[in-house]
Amino acid sequence: MVRHLRRLALWAAPAAFIAVLFFWPLTSIAAASLSPGWLEVLARPEFQGAIWFTIWQALVSTLLCLAIGLPIAFVLYRRKFFGSKLLRTILVIPFVLPAIVVAIALTDFRQLLAGSTILVILIAHVFLNIALVVRVIGPAWASIDHETDEAAELDGANGIKKFFFVTTAQLRPALVSSAALVFLFCATSFATVLSLGEGQVNSIETAIYFALTQRLDLQTAAALALAQTLITVAAFALTRKFSDSAFIVELTSEETNSKPIGRRDIPILLFSLFAIFVLFVIPIASLFVKAFMRAGEFSLKAFADLAGYGARNILDITVFEAAGNSLRNAVVAASIAVLFGVLIAWLLTQTKSRWPDLIFALPLGISSVVLGFGYLITFGGEPLALRQSWLVVPLVQALITMPLVVRITYSALATLGKTTREAASNAGADTWQIWRFIETPNIRPAIATALGFALLSSIGEFGSSVLLAYSDQATLPVVLMRLISRPGEQNYAMAMATSVLIVLLVVALVAASELARSRRRRSAAA
């Protein structure tokens, strides 16, 4: 009985956190949207178009990510060759890059595909999310015993039949999880559509933004936010139907059941390398060329200009000051996300109910724009005036990143199994001792990965920052958007330089995370 009460007490903190900072704003949105005439709002042709575009582009983006990501996952996790681990690390970088940086990196694609705005948006979504497909499906694929493939081959199955009738069945949880995550990220894509859409197309996210900033139409924004939420709930429901868990994320797995690459694998390897080169290497390389070249000559002037306020002083703060805001917000948001995320993950291992898993995964599918709008109408004054505090942005960022922290940590805790805990308990260890001496040492790599992911995601978050941050609290993505939205050679060059700095920051954090994990694995092996 005492143990049960203690567990309920531990649930209280994360439950209060999500109730106040997530469900309360959503309730405010629902109350604001269900006013007379809200159905007429959604019936308007322009908003029906935004809703339809949001759904179908998310579906197409998801299919493209799976089609391109599956061969890459096979090559990187099922086969062994020189440089495979490096490629896995490189693929993480696009996933955590700010969408604004990706939009700038794809400028050449936009010029090449003139008149195909939607196609460029789809390419951007593949750029941002294909790593998720690879890093979720890859470890699951690597865990499949090769004897299964060999048995299928003895039964006469060729490569295609073996994949669709044998491999797919074993990968179903990972396939469902990765597809659901990509769909949700693309359906809630804001910065990508805003920066690449050029006003030609609107998603629900951009429609909410324009309703708030250009027309001050709270009813329209609330009705659209409700529609966005319903799409998210439907996606969660479908995911739960085809998978035992809300989401499976195994971003920490490095153990691979891989074979040396063979002749039959060469076409898949070449396809994977070509896709990585075209989708990732070329766009990022173009950023560096544009940042360091001016009038055909090497120049650092764009970086020197970052200490200023842009052409015609369009910025309220310098890029370096915005970088300080971004780092501060990221540290606070990541700390909160990891604190609650690890606690929730541990509590999930102690319960058989599936509802807590679903409830704490819900923020993953609600965009920062919707949450930002909810905060505007909920916390603008009494009883909780968070809107006036700089903490409002990190709190939104923590809510958004916390579900993936939960999944990463939960996957690590689940691998321990009940047997290990029961053996320790039978030996006289209490819950605290089991956590301190058994569970914590085993999940440290997962916690480090989750922390790094939360930091990087928070640095690149844009939706809540653009709605909630005051001018002197602007973050790097917000400043970057202001630079590219105003014409002028100096503004453009500063945008390129800022993008390069963000890329270098992301690369440094990813490299540090991978190095730390490598050291831990070596020390554990020793």
Task: Domain ranges for the chain, please list them.
Answer: 12-521
DSSP string, 101-136: HHHHHTHHHHHHTTT-HHHHHHHHHHHHHHHHHHHH
pLDDT of 410 higher than 50? yes
Give the three-state DSSP class for 201.
coil
316-320 mean pLDDT: 86
What is the longest distance spanned by two Cα atoms in the chain?
A: 75
- Residue with the bigger pLDDT between 32 and 516: it is 32
Which residues fall within 8 angstroms of residue 216, CB to CB, at 6 or more apart? none
**What are the φ and ψ backbone dihedral angles of 144, each rounded to 5 degrees?**
-75, 130
pLDDT value at residue 37 = 66
120-146 mean pLDDT: 85
pLDDT value at residue 4 = 64
pLDDT value at residue 251 = 47
309-334 mean pLDDT: 86
Q: Which two tokens stand for residue 491?
A: 């503004």
**What are the φ and ψ backbone dihedral angles of 352, each rounded to 5 degrees?**
-95, -10
126 falls in which pLDDT band (50, 70, 90)? very high
59 falls in which pLDDT band (50, 70, 90)? very high
Q: Which two tokens stand for residue 149?
A: 């493939």
pLDDT of 289 higher than 70? yes
pLDDT value at residue 150 = 58
pLDDT value at residue 484 = 83
- Residue with the bigger pLDDT between 421 and 29: it is 29
166-184 mean pLDDT: 81
pLDDT value at residue 333 = 94
Percent of all residues in the chain with a pLDDT value above 70, rounded to a whole number: 82
- Residue with the bigger pLDDT between 143 and 118: it is 118
pLDDT value at residue 298 = 82
Percent of all residues in the chain with a pLDDT value above 90, rounded to a whole number: 11
Q: Which of 396, 401, 402, 392 is nearest to 473 (CA)?
A: 392
Instruction: Give me the chain's average pLDDT, please.
Output: 80
- C-alpha distances (whole Å) from 217 to each of 195, 212, 370, 373 are 22, 6, 14, 12
Give the three-state DSSP class for 190.
coil
Please calculate the CA angle 248-167-164 and round it to the nearest 5 degrees.
115
- C-alpha distances (whole Å) from 161 to each of 26, 94, 169, 360 are 46, 32, 12, 38
Q: Which helix (H) or strand (E) holds 30?
A: helix 24-33
Instruction: Find the DSSP H helices in 282-349.
Output: 282-292, 301-304, 319-349
Cis peptide before 383 (omega within 30 of 0): yes
Residue type, 41: V
Q: Does domain 12-521 have CATH number 3.30.470.20?
A: no
Q: Which of 126, 94, 86 is nearest to 503 (CA)?
A: 94
Q: Are 144 and 135 in contact (CB under 8 A)?
A: no
Q: Which of 44, 369, 18 is nearest to 225 (CA)?
A: 369
Candidate from 111-120, 215-224, 477-486, 515-524 with smallest mean pLDDT: 515-524
Q: Are 8 and 351 in contact (CB under 8 A)?
A: no
- Residue with the bigger pLDDT between 299 and 432: it is 299
254-269 mean pLDDT: 74
- Residue with the bigger pLDDT between 9 and 277: it is 277
pLDDT value at residue 428 = 63
pLDDT value at residue 328 = 92
pLDDT value at residue 252 = 43
pLDDT value at residue 67 = 93
84 falls in which pLDDT band (50, 70, 90)? confident
526 falls in which pLDDT band (50, 70, 90)? low
The backbone region for 328, taken as left when phi is positive above 0, alpha when psi lies in -120 to 50, beta otherwise, is: alpha
pLDDT value at residue 466 = 84
60-67 mean pLDDT: 94
Q: Which two tokens stand for residue 401?
A: 């990143």
Give the number of other Cβ atoms within 10 Å of residue 512's Cβ: 12
291 falls in which pLDDT band (50, 70, 90)? confident
Residue type, 217: D
* Whole-angstrom Cα Rg for the chain: 23
pLDDT of 247 higher than 60? no
Candidate from 191-205, 298-312, 428-442, 485-499 with smallest mean pLDDT: 428-442
pLDDT of 324 higher than 60? yes
62 falls in which pLDDT band (50, 70, 90)? very high
Give the number of other Cβ atoms within 10 Å of residue 303's Cβ: 18
- C-alpha distances (whole Å) from 474 to each of 190, 323, 328, 393 are 17, 9, 12, 10
